[in-house]
Amino acid sequence: MSSYGLMNLQREKENIDRLVYDISFQYLHDPAIRSKYMIEERRVTSYFLDEYRYGRLDFGRAMDKLREYHMSLTNHHMNLRMGSIKLYAIAERERAKHSMLTIALKQVGFVSGAMQVIGGFGLCKASLGAACKNYGVPLMMQGNENVWENGYYLLYHEDPKRMPLRYAYRQVAKLLGGDEKDGDIAFSTGDLVLSFG
C-alpha cells in the first residue's frame, strides 16, 4: 500500500461523496431516509478503501471498483434528472392546457353552442317545419355537441370521453378512407357552415 495510491483513492471517494450528497439533498426529502442513504453509500466507498489498506485489493482494482461505482451513481443521477425534466414538461403541457386562452375559447364555444341550439329551435318554430328538417335540427345537434364538449371542459378541465356527434363524423370519415382527424375537420366545417347558414 502506498500513500500516493491511498490519496488518489480518497480523492475518488470524495468525488463519490459529493455526488451522493447532491443526490440525497435533491431527491430525498425525508431526513431519516437521506441519512440512511448517505451512511450506506459511505460504507460502500469506505469498504473499497479498506480493502486496499489491508492488501486485499491492489490499487488498480480498488480504483476500478470506485470508478465503476461513481459511474453507476452518475447514471442514476442523470436518470433522476431526466425524470425531473419529463415531469416538468408534463406540468408545462398541463398548465398550457388550462391556460386562460384555452378557458376563454371553451367559454366562447359553450356560448356559441347555446346560440346554435336557440337559433335552430327558433328556425323550426318560425318556419313551421319547412326548414326545420334540413337546417334547424342539424343546427341544434351541432349546438348541443358544442355545449356538451365545451361545458364538460369548463367543469372538469379535460375533454369528454364520449362525444356522440363527433364520433359519428369520425366513423363516417373512416368509412370513406380517412382518419379521425378528417372526421374532426368535417365536424368543424359542418359547424361553421351551419352557423353562417
Contact 110, 150 (CB under 8 A): yes
Task: Tell me the C-alpha distance between 175 and 165, whole Å.
Answer: 15
In the chain, the N- to C-terminal Cα span, in Å, equals 92
Judge if pTM exceeds 0.75.
no
pLDDT below 70 — which residues of the chain?
1, 84-98, 197
Q: State pLDDT tens for residues 160-191.
A: 888 888 889 899 999 999 998 998 888 888 88
Task: Tell me the C-alpha distance between 165 and 22, whole Å.
Answer: 54
Task: Tell me the C-alpha distance between 80 and 173, whole Å.
Answer: 44
